[in-house]
Every structure is written in structure tokens, then in C-alpha cells.
Structure 1
């Protein structure tokens, strides 16, 4: 999956917004003001960080040790960094982005959840 595909997928999710609070990189994707993904396009290879349930964090890291790394500068219990180098199929990356989005939406107060 290419960085442009990650951006397009994230921004297609209801209520999602992109901003750059840390400068040019990483791109931060939020819903209801909370982060659900961070995309580092300038890294080699490009990478995206997503939030997952703790048991899935461990499983993903065990299944894909060269592609799924501990969340870079994030809580390692809840976040993983996925290298966009082809180790995971595009559909798997889209599923991880969707799962991260859903986890964050579920944690929002009802008034902040997208319709």
C-alpha cells in the first residue's frame, strides 16, 4: 500500500481529519479530536502507526516481526507501526486502519461520534 492510499483511506472514514501538529511529518489522522493513525511518508520505507487491542498488538508483532514494529514514540501496548514495504497486503493495512478508527470512535463520547 502506498502512502497516498493510506491518506485516501483515512480521509474517507466518517468524521476523519488530517493535520500536521509535529511539522511536515508525520501526517496525523483524527476522529473526534483523537488520533487513530500517523503516517510517516518521508521514512524509508514509509510507515503508518495504528491503535489495536493489546492482544492483537502482540499477535501482529509475532506474525510479522519484520513488518509490524512496536509503535514508534507511542504506547507500545496499544500501538504498532506498520512498514509499507509490501510485507502486508493492502487489504490488511486497510483493515488495521479501520480497526484503529473503530477503537477510537468507540472511546469517544456519543456527542462526538460521527453519524
Structure 2
């Protein structure tokens, strides 16, 4: 089976553009972890047969996104109120995924003490 990694490629491309974003690989499992100032804003892994992206979201936005897009579900292995999982599919495109990554990053940056925020964030 060929896996559609496009959603992860779109998300990763956007994350690399964000100030202070750092990518690491989890020592166990096949998880990529994206952080800013030590705080996670994005995770990437593979569910059975499908690579997914897990992002932080405002609770009201997360609910609306899940209702509007069949390719967005509650965050896998995360707080279901504050995190979403994005699957590859017909309801998401590169721009939309990039916006979701940016929103997740901003939520995390806004929660950081001012001295720990990236200079251009």
C-alpha cells in the first residue's frame, strides 16, 4: 500500500518556516515532534496505513474543524479538547494545513513567557 504523506510534507514545510521551530524524532515509535521553546506544537506519526499530523487548536475552533472536515478528528493520544488530528484526504489542502500549523504554533507561542518567545513570532 502506498502511503499518502502529502499532509505531513505540507505541515513540515510550513513548520520549518516558523521562527524557533525545532524538529526531533522520538526515541521510541515513529513520531516526529515539533517544538518551539521546548513546547510541542505539532506531532507527526503514522496511524494504520495513514500518516497523520496532530496539532494544537483552540477548543471552539477544534470542534468547528471536526464538524466541517471529515479528515479532522480529535487529537490522537492528546487532550481531545485542545488537539486535532489531520488525515490526508479530500477536505484538506496545502494552504489549509499550513494555516492549521501556524495557528497551533501561535497558540503555543502565546502561552510562553515573553522572554521565551522567538524574536520574530
Unaligned runs of 5+ in 1: none
What value does the CA root-mean-square deviation take over the aligned residues?
1.6
Unaligned runs of 5+ in 2: 1-5
Secondary structure of the structure 1 residue equivalent to 2:40? strand
1:13-92 equivalences in 2 (<5 Å): 13-41=18-46, 43-64=48-69, 66-92=70-96
The alpha-carbon distance between structure 1 residues 84 and 30, as it changes in their structure 2 partners (threshold 3 A), is same
Which residue in 2 is equivalent to 1:110? 114
TM-score, scaled to structure 2: 0.86
The alpha-carbon distance between structure 1 residues 2 and 71, as it changes in their structure 2 partners (threshold 3 A), is closer
4+ long deviations beyond 4 Å: none
TM-score, scaled to structure 1: 0.90
Contact 1:25 1:41 in 2 (8 A): yes
Q: Take 2:48 and 2:13, find their aligned partners in 1: how far apart are those partners?
A: 19
1:10 is aligned to 2:15: yes
Q: Take 1:100 and 1:55, find their aligned partners in 2: how far apart are those partners?
A: 13
The offset of 1:24, in angstroms, is 4.9
Contact 2:7 2:52 in 1 (8 A): no
Contact 2:56 2:82 in 1 (8 A): yes
The alpha-carbon distance between structure 1 residues 41 and 25, as it changes in their structure 2 partners (threshold 3 A), is same
